[in-house]
């Protein structure tokens, strides 16, 4: 029996992605069967369900008339010119949504609320890392955005021009995105932790005319310089004509007169009158670079009308946004898609009050986030499993020391949330009361595609549950045939959706090759998944992170989930390394919780190898489990398995530009060396 799926993984080059169909089918699924709690379901609390924005009828309405459903959601926005056409899919994979309509993103996020009499409603509750605070109303934000729009125009920025944004999490960042959108220019945010080289590559690819940055920002009690990085990125000469600089860190910066402009000298002086004009729905809104399988980042392109429609709809439906009463906090940095869709756009489009925090969760200590939740009475919290696991490691006392009774809904994004972390999040953060929405989506999808509806769905820890209303997901084999429940396959999107990427900047061929070549006009997400018997979706990790041991294919997610299932484990990364006999061998890297009771590293290794074998089967028993202090991660907190693989195979570590902390490589190498002198437990 051939139990592998051969397909084109993400990236232009052909690759083999393999999913263990036999193991998944025989073992009846991975995550569920390992935890013995697969029957555990959490029905929405009755009071939550009774007041939820969206009920079960949304599924019915959307399945009866999918395009009519999306048209209704689009009509919740203000259109400068009404659309008459919903979807044009005549030239797949190039979709056009609401194409003859005209819209302005900034008008929808700001003017509309002010015109409706809600100008005094607080838009942003901002807290700097040192503890400084600002509260900004919709009217005040509109004022700032209008002035900035005039400044940008005066600097020669026109509709369609690209503006690079290299800023920390400060109110000016939100204002920048909205001002750029207001004049029809295209923002390209580069995460503030990226190096000068990465920034330069992105500026060059987008041919940006202007960069907006800050002198520096606060991180872990110190100033992290930004302007010097921009200076370095621009040193060799670029398309950039001006650099607009926010004073935040107060650090000394070099100044290139004529090119550099202080925000505080330009923006307050500019006129606060600015009329937002409508742009065609398919006018580009932003580019956001993300890594593919090749070293060259892909500039994911999003346009306006469909993106605003789906981000705002999902925010209303999945986060149950209530503008009068909610205090919403999404902890994502604006450098990532989550910080675009669910910080800069959807919450403002929906008129809610949101919290923005500049710094790290452990400054001055791990209580910081919970202090913020308590202070602002946050009602909806949206964060990532990696953060939750960090808090698990620190211990629940840190969280429980604060009054979190305001929280009514919790969200998760970025990777599959292992059931143990889900349950901890539910119990410790959500007081066993707040529903959890695990949201599956990607930079490319623009908005959430799979998640529970919090007032409708009985949630299952670890499952992303259902396609949202109006989205058609399927799980298929390499021939594109839907697989049976319980069997692993490839996640595809069957129909175009409003917030889908419209292309890769300047590279339509790569767009087609990466996402559309495998299954024709169905979008290939690059993720493995399976449906359970109830039709709920379980994500199994990227198909390029799959291992093959003695002809058995194992998903990294399943091994990591098994490791994290052990009470002593805080975090785990698993990789397959080359092995002459078995093809690949599983190597795991594990961070233990503080105060765990395993006496030595070799005992821990023995216990954890056995634990994985017990949960999955002997085939999955890791060859080695290295106990390490930290895992190599991207700045957004994703474990970089490629680096682990290099380290485990003792070869030089390749590209490390996405690594948050380079020191981790030396530390792990030393830990591996030390462990090699000890017989595996």
The DSSP code sequence of 65-128 is: -HHHHHHHHHTTS-EEE--S--EE-SSTT--EESTT-EE-HHIIIIIHHIIIIITTSEEEEEE-
Q: Does 513 help bind ligand PRX (rule: CB under 6 A)?
A: no
Q: Does 439 help bind ligand PRX (rule: CB under 6 A)?
A: yes
Q: Which stretch binds ligand PRX (CB under 6 A): 193-201, 368-376, 407-415, 429-437?
A: 407-415
Strand arrangement, sheet containing 473-476: 473-476, 489-493, 523-531, 537-542
Q: Does 440 help bind ligand PRX (rule: CB under 6 A)?
A: yes
Size, binding site for ligand PRX by CB under 6 A: 19
Q: Are 433 and 420 in contact (CB under 8 A)?
A: no
Q: Does 593 help bind ligand PRX (rule: CB under 6 A)?
A: no
Q: Does 463 help bind ligand PRX (rule: CB under 6 A)?
A: no
Distance CA 44, CA 435 (A): 6
Of 111 and 415, CB closest to ligand PRX: 415
Q: What is the b/e burial string over 244-260, where b = at least 16 CB atoms within 10 angstroms of the residue's CB? A: bbbbbbebebeeeeeeb
By CB under 6 A, name the one of 464, 493, 546, 668 that touches ligand PRX.
464
Residues 252-291 that bind ligand PRX (CB under 6 A): 290
Per-residue three-class SS string for 335-378? CCHHHHHHHHHHHHHCCCEEEEECCCCCCCCCCHHHHHHHHHCC
Q: Helix, strand, or coil here: 503?
A: strand
Q: Does 414 help bind ligand PRX (rule: CB under 6 A)?
A: yes
Q: Does 11 help bind ligand PRX (rule: CB under 6 A)?
A: no
Of 195 and 290, CB closest to ligand PRX: 290
Q: Does 293 help bind ligand PRX (rule: CB under 6 A)?
A: no
Residues 320-379 that bind ligand PRX (CB under 6 A): 337-338
Residues 120-159 that bind ligand PRX (CB under 6 A): none
Distance CA 201, CA 655 (A): 15
H or E element, residue 542? strand 537-542
> Taking the complex as a whole, how short is the minimal distance between the CB of residue 663 and ligand PRX, in angstroms?
23
Of 147 and 542, CB closest to ligand PRX: 542
Q: What is the b/e burial string over 605-637, where b = at least 16 CB atoms within 10 angstroms of the residue's CB? A: bbebbebbeebbeebbbbbbbbbbeebbbbbbb
Distance of alpha carbon 448 from the chain centroid? 10
Of 355 and 416, CB closest to ligand PRX: 416
Of 73 and 314, CB closest to ligand PRX: 314
Of 270 and 436, CB closest to ligand PRX: 436
Of 125 and 525, CB closest to ligand PRX: 525
> Taking the complex as a whole, how short is the minimal distance between the CB of residue 339 and ligand PRX, in angstroms?
10
- Sign of torsion over alpha carbons 133, 135, 141, 144: negative
CA torsion angle for 248, 253, 257, 263 (degrees, to 10)?
0
Per-residue three-class SS string for 283-298? CEEEEEEECCCCCCCE
Q: Which stretch binds ligand PRX (CB under 6 A): 120-128, 260-268, 345-353, 409-417?
A: 409-417
> Taking the complex as a whole, how short is the minimal distance between the CB of residue 370 and ligand PRX, in angstroms?
23
397 burial (CB, 10 Å; 0-12 / 13-18 / 19+) is exposed
By CB under 6 A, name the one of 170, 416, 436, 659 that touches ligand PRX.
416
Q: Does 441 help bind ligand PRX (rule: CB under 6 A)?
A: yes
Q: Does 543 help bind ligand PRX (rule: CB under 6 A)?
A: no
Distance CA 635, CA 221 (A): 18
Distance CA 10, CA 586 (A): 23
Q: Are 475 and 529 in contact (CB under 8 A)?
A: yes
By CB under 6 A, name the one of 415, 474, 532, 560 that touches ligand PRX.
415
Of 291 and 353, CB closest to ligand PRX: 291
Q: Does 443 help bind ligand PRX (rule: CB under 6 A)?
A: yes
Q: Does 560 help bind ligand PRX (rule: CB under 6 A)?
A: no
Residues 470-489 that bind ligand PRX (CB under 6 A): none
Q: Which stretch binds ligand PRX (CB under 6 A): 125-133, 244-252, 433-441, 505-513?
A: 433-441
Q: Are 628 and 667 in contact (CB under 8 A)?
A: yes
Nearest to 413 by CA among 315, 546, 550, 275: 315
Q: Which stretch binds ligand PRX (CB under 6 A): 66-74, 124-132, 441-449, 558-566?
A: 441-449
- Rounded to the nearest 5 degrees, what angle is found at the Cα of 185, between the Cα atoms of 180 and 187? 65
Q: Which stretch binds ligand PRX (CB under 6 A): 132-140, 260-268, 403-411, 439-447?
A: 439-447
Of 371 and 657, CB closest to ligand PRX: 657
Q: Helix, strand, or coil here: 453?
A: coil
Q: Does 539 help bind ligand PRX (rule: CB under 6 A)?
A: yes
| Residue ranges in contact with ligand PRX by CB under 6 A | 290, 337-338, 413-416, 438-443, 464, 525-527, 539, 542
């Amino acid at each position: 029996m051939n139990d592998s799926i051969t397909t084109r993984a993400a990236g232009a080059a052909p690759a083999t992605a393999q999913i263990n169909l036999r193991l998944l089918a025989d073992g009846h699924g991975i995550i569920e069967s390992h935890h013995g709690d697969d029957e555990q379901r959490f029905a929405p609390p009755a009071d939550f369900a009774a007041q939820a924005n969206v009920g079960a009828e949304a599924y019915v309405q959307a399945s009866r008339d999918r395009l009519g459903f999306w048209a209704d959601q689009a009509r919740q926005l203000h259109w400068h010119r009404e659309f008459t056409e919903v979807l044009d899919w005549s030239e797949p994979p190039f979709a056009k949504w609401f194409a003859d309509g005209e819209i302005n993103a900034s008008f929808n996020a700001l003017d509309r609320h002010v015109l409706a009499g809600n100008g005094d409603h607080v838009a942003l509750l901002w807290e700097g890392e040192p503890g400084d605070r600002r509260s900004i109303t919709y009217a005040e934000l509109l004022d700032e955005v209008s002035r900035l729009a005039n400044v940008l125009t005066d600097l020669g920025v026109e509709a369609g021009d690209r503006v690079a944004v290299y800023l920390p999490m400060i109110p000016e960042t939100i204002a920048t995105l909205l001002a750029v959108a207001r004049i029809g220019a295209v923002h390209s945010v580069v995460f503030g932790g990226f190096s000068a080289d990465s920034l330069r590559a992105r500026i060059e690819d987008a041919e940006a005319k202007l960069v907006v940055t800050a002198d520096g920002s606060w991180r872990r009690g110190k100033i992290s310089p930004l302007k010097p990085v921009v200076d370095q990125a621009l040193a060799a000469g670029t398309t950039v004509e001006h650099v607009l600089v926010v004073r935040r860190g107060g650090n000394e910066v070099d100044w290139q007169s004529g090119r550099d402009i202080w925000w505080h000298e330009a923006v307050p002086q500019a006129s606060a009158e600015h009329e937002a004009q409508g742009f065609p729905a398919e006018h580009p809104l932003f580019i956001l670079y993300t890594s593919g399988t090749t070293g060259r980042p892909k500039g994911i392109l999003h346009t306006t009308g469909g993106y605003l429609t789906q981000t705002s709809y999902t925010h209303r439906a999945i986060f149950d946004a209530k503008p009068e009463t909610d205090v919403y906090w999404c902890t994502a940095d604006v450098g990532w898609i989550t910080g675009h869709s669910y910080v800069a756009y959807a919450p403002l489009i929906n008129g809610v009050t949101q919290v923005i925090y500049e710094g790290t969760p452990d400054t001055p200590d791990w209580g910081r986030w919970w202090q913020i939740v308590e202070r602002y009475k946050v009602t909806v919290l949206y964060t990532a499993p990696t953060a939750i696991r960090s808090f698990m490691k620190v211990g629940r006392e840190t969280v429980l020391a604060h009054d979190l009774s305001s929280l009514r809904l919790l969200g998760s994004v970025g990777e599959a949330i292992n059931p143990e972390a889900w349950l901890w999040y539910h119990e410790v953060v959500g007081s066993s009361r707040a529903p959890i929405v695990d949201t599956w989506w990607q930079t490319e999808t623009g908005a959430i595609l799979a998640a529970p509806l919090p007032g409708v769905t009985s949630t299952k820890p670890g499952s992303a549950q259902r396609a949202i209303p109006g989205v058609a997901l399927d799980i298929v084999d390499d021939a594109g045939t839907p697989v049976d429940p319980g069997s692993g396959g490839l996640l595809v999107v069957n129909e175009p959706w409003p917030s889908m990427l419209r292309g890769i900047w300047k590279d339509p061929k790569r767009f087609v090759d990466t996402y559309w070549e495998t299954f024709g006009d169905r979008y290939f997400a690059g993720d493995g998944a399976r449906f359970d018997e109830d039709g709920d979706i379980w994500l199994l990790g990227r198909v390029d992170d799959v291992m093959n041991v003695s002809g058995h294919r194992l998903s990294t997610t399943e091994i990591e989930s098994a490791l994290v299932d052990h009470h002593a484990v805080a975090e785990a990364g698993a990789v397959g390394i080359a092995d002459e006999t078995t093809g690949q061998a599983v190597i795991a890297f594990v961070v233990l919780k503080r105060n765990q009771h395993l006496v030595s590293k070799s005992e821990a290794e023995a216990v954890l190898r056995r634990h994985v074998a017990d949960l999955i089967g002997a085939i999955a028993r890791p060859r080695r489990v290295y106990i390490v202090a930290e895992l190599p991660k991207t700045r957004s907190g994703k474990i970089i398995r490629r680096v682990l693989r290099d380290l485990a195979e003792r070869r030089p570590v390749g590209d490390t530009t996405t690594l948050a902390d380079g020191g981790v490589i030396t530390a792990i190498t030393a830990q591996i060396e030390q462990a090699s002198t000890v017989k595996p437990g």
